[in-house]
Structure 1
Amino acid sequence: MQVKWAPNAFVRLVLPLMAGILTYLYYGPMLPPVWPLLAGLVGLFAGGQWWAARQPGPGPTDAAGLLAVAALYVAGLTLTQQATESRAPNHLFRFGDQIEFYRAVVDDYTVRRPATYATTVRVSAVRVAGQWRPAVGGIRVSIPLTDSLPAPQYGDVWLVRGAPAPSKPPLNPGEFDYRRYLQYHQVYHQQFIHPDQYQRIAMAPPSLLRAVAMRAARVVEGIFKRYVHARREYALASALVLGLKDDVDQQTKEAYANTGTTHIMAVSGLQVGLLFGAVSWLLGLLPGRRGPLLHLLTALVGLGVIWSYAFLTGLSASVLRATVMFSFVLVARATGRQTSIYNLLAVAAFFLLCYDPYLLCDVGFQLSFLAVLSIVYLQPPIAGWLHPKAYFLARQRPWQRPAVQKLWQWAGIGLDWIWRATALSLAAQVATFPLGLFYFHQFPLSFLLSNLVAVPISSLAVYVGLLLLLLKGLGWALGLLSTTLAHGLDYLTKGVAWVFEWMIWFFNEYIFFIGKSMPGALVSGIHITAPQAWLIFGVILALLAFFSLRRLQWLALACTFMGVFAGSRVWAARQLAPDEQLIVYSIPRRSVVGFWQGAAADIVPLDSLPLTETERTYRIVPGSIRRNARRVRYWPGWRGSPVPALVAEPGLVLARWRGRQLAFVSGQLSGSTQPLPGLAAVVLRRNARVRPTDVAALFGTAPRIVFDSSCKSWYVARQDSLFRAAGFRTHDVTLAGAFRVGGRW
């Protein structure tokens, strides 16, 4: 199966645009303004085209094509540079900690956490030295969750006292880089705001349409809350139809992630595609010839339905991406354009990236387009491997009873549908496989079994859920005319809601059943670097080219990529084997030390309290995955751990590991211990009451003074200045991240 380039013009346009965006993401800070170069290239291209149009023969098409590619490449650079808000002369970075007050508007959904609300605000002005100045910048804020404090609403205008802090980098090895994630969304600061630190002064939504859409989403969520009674099913109903996952518990999220069905809870292309398919099927039942008028009607109704659904989901980014994609498909059909699906996808990607170049960094954007591309290209040939419908129809014989013939027919139809669904899941996994390893470090081998049942049932549940909303809206309209009719329709609405809740319960129980019955089907703890992910993509593309073109050169290229990938893994393992590191982790209110030898580690919480599952998952495990750890053991305190530790005096523990010695101080130093020079570091815990002179007398001034996460901020601020004045070097793991001794940083 070959992809021809002639009918796919936008594929050739979007690739250099994406290359320009990627170049800026890696080398942007060192680039000067590039818009003059873009203007020059566009002018040169326009002049060349004008000159070629006046020549009797064909102009230099190759040169014109190269100029167009260069212009699009620089356009990608320019668009990303212009979209980078931190380059603005009045960005928050320019004011630093001189900000006394700032005025900002809530510009995002509010996420409810166990103890806080989290949202994003956009700054419009700051007060510096008593004067208000215009400013721009995004801040990710958190406020306490209390009964007396209302949740932030989109469009709330706040007056906030104090200066926000720049977003923190990852504090532990391998930890998720939340700072970079925020920067891709043009948010460069974070702040925890106390209730007495801000005041709501006005209501001015940045987008009135989005404000109404978000309000509509909450109203629709209220309908689910009223008719779906079980808490878990209500949470999944909101996630499945509206994409609101605030009430989905962590256990359910993990179960879906472990079975490869997380996409069911993410409202995106699946739900929009279901609506698109349903509208196309219903309009296809209309009688009459398929003329231009019917095509136009189909497009208008289809656009109205999918954009109405996008509105009901609050115009979320994932739904908007899918809606734009299907809008181009509908418009192409209505205008009778004989364009390929590859070109339509390229058109959608081109315009979306022109609108926001940083969408290229969005995991949902990458997975959506790659999955659709893979399905379009691979699903038909994979489905062609087997023909269950033809096989069972061939089993029919004239002398068989009608019931037997029907049985053969329906068995063929059913198995044919199952095989096509299997082919679709396989095709989607081919292109998204490298991204799954790179971003999520795992691959669920049970994805076929889980998706085979969960996807069709959840798809039907989407239809039933939308029918529930439609009936509720119809009931509200009838209530204006007749209360009796409204009550009668409410019984039907309750019946549909019961079916909806039962379907959600069934596919949710199926997901948990698959997870429990196949516990070893999840391959986790996989770490690949970005270049290794590109190598896997290279292997896949080379193999696809080989099967399509039947040329051994492509197979040789695939083997070369595989060899380079394997070599990089072996080289990384050899580099890691002799690596020894001692890590004082940054975990809030905890004292945790890790002793790493190659791919093995012993993790010791010094307060003798076991780490919680959350602490392990988000603080320790990412570093373990990054090192491809084979053995990680957790010890509750020094007792029983293989690391030699000596209690020199109350409040002082000396640990020796791989020729390095550290002191852990949690109380006063009595002075009874003999001087111990040559330490790598002195770790202060639990606001240890020590003076720099006591530490210098016992250990000298050479060891680094490390404040671990059990120390309070006021204590660190006071002691840090004292120790620095005494000639010590200090390190605060709460602000500067984990402290390492040995190994590679």
Structure 2
Amino acid sequence: MLSLHWVIIFTFWITSLICLIILNYYGRQVLYFKKWLTRAWLIVFLFSGALGYQFQLPTSYAFNFSNHFLENDQLQGEIIEYQKGKGKYDKAILEVNKIISPYREIKVQGKLLCYIRTLDTTFSEGQIIMVHPQIIDIKNKHNPGEFDAEKYWNTKGIQKMVFLSSDNISILGVKQTFSSWWTRSRNYLKQLIKDNIKPEHQGLVIALSLGDKSDLSNEKRELFANAGAMHVLAVSGMHVGILLWFIKLIFRSFKPLRNRNTYLYFAIGALWCFAFLTGMSASVTRAVTMFSILGVGQLIGKRFFSLQAIFASAFILIIFNPLIIYDIGFQLSYLAVLGISAFYYPILNLFGTKYTLINWLWEGSAIGIAAQIGTVPISLYYFNQFPNYFFITNIGLLVLAFVAFIGVILFFVFHLIPFVADGLILANNFIFDTLSGFIAGINQLPGEVSKGFTPNLLHVFVLYLLILAALYFWKKMKLKQFNLTTVFLFVAALMLIFQREYNKSKSELVILNHYKKVILIKENRKLFIVQEENNKIKEDDLAYLVNGYEQRNGVVGSRLSIPIDKELSLRDDIRIRRNSSGIKIEYHDQKYFLAQNMSKIKQYSDYKIIAGNWNPWMNEELADFSTKERALIIKP
């Protein structure tokens, strides 16, 4: 779709729309045309989404700022997103609206990704700023397993980025908007948490209640991911469900409030307030939109099936933002709710007792299993890992996540009442101590997570096709076909495991694309990450650089460093030696030299010379290989 011009798509769209109008007119009179109406609507919806998608891309803007920006120009725009960083830089998205120079002023469009090195100035959403940037393209480093930044930002309509310092940004004013009010409210609640909750839990509390994971440590993220509890940190349908239950409990507890319409009006309003407060993430917007459709249907005397509400909410979100279909949260959210819709009752009916507590736990577990069935293939594609104890985690979270979320909501509501607030602070600290301890305990279990799964899109599609086929044959009571489909599903899953074992066992040498020398050596199911002793990368930066590779290959790297004029021997046929001219690598029967100083390069005529960004001035014509554009991967 990216290669099609919008005029072509518009032609198809207007043609399909005219056909729909004709069919809609004659279809009500001629029975033959009625069956084509649904198909015509579907085609119009598809082309509407495709057309909207094209208009969202930066290439569709005639006055995109990148097409008119010159070296000495300044940009004026509004900060529409702002996120505090853990290091020196904060991240912002600037909606550019004007190019200014001494000789011209042009109204433009487009978004710019900004990394701002903050000093004393504080920035926030809604501010109008002017900057003098050096704009660069968003490009991948093409290191194995890296995050695909180009694709991610392109799906958000952003292709350019800039690094700025706060002392060369001029704040022109503040634009008061609907979203900026919610941003200020969110920041107020974040500060409330930071002033009252234990430091070790602040990031977790903010993530669980407000959906902002910027204050969450990498260690905490990894613990929750390994336990299969990341949905607790991303405000989602689970949070909406808990909030709905809490609102219903309040309305049932007070007789004057026991009115269905009053409850629905209040619930819909409260949920949308929660969605705006948490930043309108794809998952919470999906849940709130679905409930709104169901609630409005009841108010006007209509009833919708759950699938109708699911697809209607998806259609509404895609119409407003076609690029949302590329949002991982959107995909996971809808696949999870489709999994629950399809598999919840078949799983629930497999087990039942006369004990209410056990049945309640099983109901919650059935929801978790059904959601897992819906999301496992796509999760393996994106994250390359599977939490082996997700079932135990879900049982624990049935209670802990519920109590934690309601505890924070109560604290927000009653924080101005001194004694009540003090009690809620103590309670919340205890609850989050327990929640963190539970997640840490799951991570202490042997084999808590399996990493190294790398299915391609075709494999993911086949898995979903087989899952749907198995469900269909189960419901139709076609046992023979169900058993056959189950066998195929088992084989497809087995192929995933074989691929994982291959990823873990393969051997290779990788020279990363980085401004410092970073060497990965994977041998005998072990990974060694080698750096120069006096020129190492900070641990957080190194983790960001190699985590994707570790995830995809199911290994954890050992950090090694080489002093100058020393040799590192990993095996008899794998040696690394460093001197003032660079690093010599003997890898099985191959020899490579990472050149730093070109004056003595003739001494290494029997080595293959590798150039890289650690020496940007080196003449690449003198090198056999270069890692300035992408990593170099060498097989034994």
Question: TM over 0.5, yes or no?
Answer: yes
Answer whether contact 1:442 1:524 (CA < 8 A) is retained.
yes
Aligned pair count? 630
Specify the alignment match of 2:402 in structure 1.
Answer: 459
Question: Could you tell me which of 33, 55, 62 is aligned with 1:60?
Answer: 33
| TM-score, with structure 1 as normaliser | 0.76
Cα distance change on mapping 1:251 and 1:52 into 2, 3 Å = closer
Are 2:6 and 2:55, in contact at CA under 8 Å, matched by a contact in 1? no
SS at match of 1:187: coil
- Show the counterpart of 1:115: 88
1:221 aligns with 2:180: no
Conserved 8 A contact 1:536-1:562: no
Counterpart in the other structure of 1:102: 75
Of residues 430, 452, 458 in structure 1, which corresponds to 2:373? 430
Q: Percent same amino acid among aligned pairs?
A: 18
Amino acid at match of 1:509: G
User: Residues 624-650 of structure 1: CA distance to partner in whole angstroms, max 9, x if unpaired?
Assistant: 554x46797665334223355587985
Moved more, 268-277 or 124-133: 124-133
Tell me what 2:631 maps to. 738
Cross-structure match for 1:77? 50
Unaligned runs of 5+ in 1: 1-23, 391-411, 476-488, 684-705
Matched, 1:585 2:478: no
Q: Which residue of 2 aligns with 1:416?
A: 359
1:212 equivalent in alignment to 2:138:
no
AA aligned opposite 2:129: W
Instruction: Quote the Cα distance in structure 1 between the aligned partners of 2:520 and 2:276.
Output: 49
CA positional deviation for 1:599 = 7.5
> Is 2:578 the partner of 1:641?
no
Aligned-pair CA distance for 1:572: 10
Residue deviations 1:206-241, cap 9 Å, x none?
xx110001101112223333333x112333222221
Relative to 1, partners in 2 of residues 1:99 and 1:526: Cα closer, same or farther, differing over 3 Å? farther
Q: Offset of 1:151 from its aligned partner?
A: 2.8
CA contact (8 A) 1:107 1:121 kept: yes
| Deviation digits for residues 245-284 of structure 1 (CA, Å, limit 9, x no counterpart) | 3332222221111111111122222222212222234434
Distance in 2 (alpha carbons) for counterparts of 1:539 and 1:508: 37
Residue in structure 2 matched with residue 393 of structure 1 by the alignment: none
- Of stretches 641-650 and 526-535 in structure 1, the one that deviates more from structure 2 is 641-650
Matches within 5 A, 1:632-711: 635-637=560-562, 638-642=567-571, 643=573, 651=581, 653-657=583-587, 659-667=589-597, 669=599, 677=605, 679-681=607-609, 683=610, 706-709=611-614, 711=615
Q: Which amino acid aligns with 1:379?
A: Y
Aligned Cα RMSD in Å? 3.4
Q: Does 1:171 align with 2:142?
A: yes
1:511 aligns with 2:480: no
Q: Is the 8 A contact 2:454 2:496 kept in 1?
A: no
The correspondence of residues 7-46 of structure 1 with structure 2, limited to 5 A, is 24=1, 27-28=2-3, 33-46=8-21
Q: State the partner residue of 1:137.
A: 110
Q: Which residue of 2 aligns with 1:386?
A: 351
Q: Write out aligned runs for 1:452-601 (5 A).
A: 452-472=395-415, 475=416, 489-516=417-444, 518-551=445-478, 552-553=480-481, 555-557=483-485, 559-560=487-488, 563=491, 582-588=509-515, 590-595=516-521
Deviation at residue 656 of structure 1 after TM alignment: 4.0
Offset of residue 448 of structure 1: 1.9
Cα contact 2:118–2:165 (8 A) shared by 1: no
Task: Choose 1 or 2 for highest CA Rg.
Answer: 1
Query: Which residue of 157, 162, 169 maps to 1:186?
Result: 157
Structure 1 pair 653–164 and aligned structure 2 pair: CA distance change class (3 A): closer
8 Å CA contact 1:86, 1:137 repeated in 2: no
Q: What is the TM-score of this pair, normalised by structure 2?
A: 0.89
Task: Give, in whole Å, the separation in 2 of the partners of 1:94 and 1:568.
Answer: 45
Contact 1:532–1:565 (CA under 8 A) maintained in structure 2: no
Q: Post-superposition shift, 1:182?
A: 1.1
Contact 1:110 1:152 in 2 (8 A): no
Match of 1:15 in 2: none
| 2:463/2:492 contact within 8 Å kept | no
Q: Any conservation in 2 of the 1:158–1:199 contact (CA below 8 Å)?
A: yes
Shift of 1:311: 3.7
Other-structure match for 2:226: 258
Tell me the residue number matched to 1:394.
none
Query: Which residue in the other structure is 1:326 paired with?
Result: 291
Unaligned runs of 5+ in 2: none
Tell me if the contact between 2:138 and 2:150 (Cα under 8 Å) persists in the aligned partners: yes
* Of 416-425 and 313-322, the range deviating more from structure 2: 313-322
1:662 offset after TM fit, Å? 2.5
- Cα distance change of structure 1 residues 579 and 662 upon mapping to structure 2, 3 Å threshold: same
Measure, in 2, the Cα distance between the counterparts of 1:251 and 1:646: 31
Q: Secondary structure at the match of 1:641?
A: strand
Greater alpha carbon shift after TM alignment, 212-221 vs 272-281: 272-281
Structure-1 residue corresponding to 2:126: 155
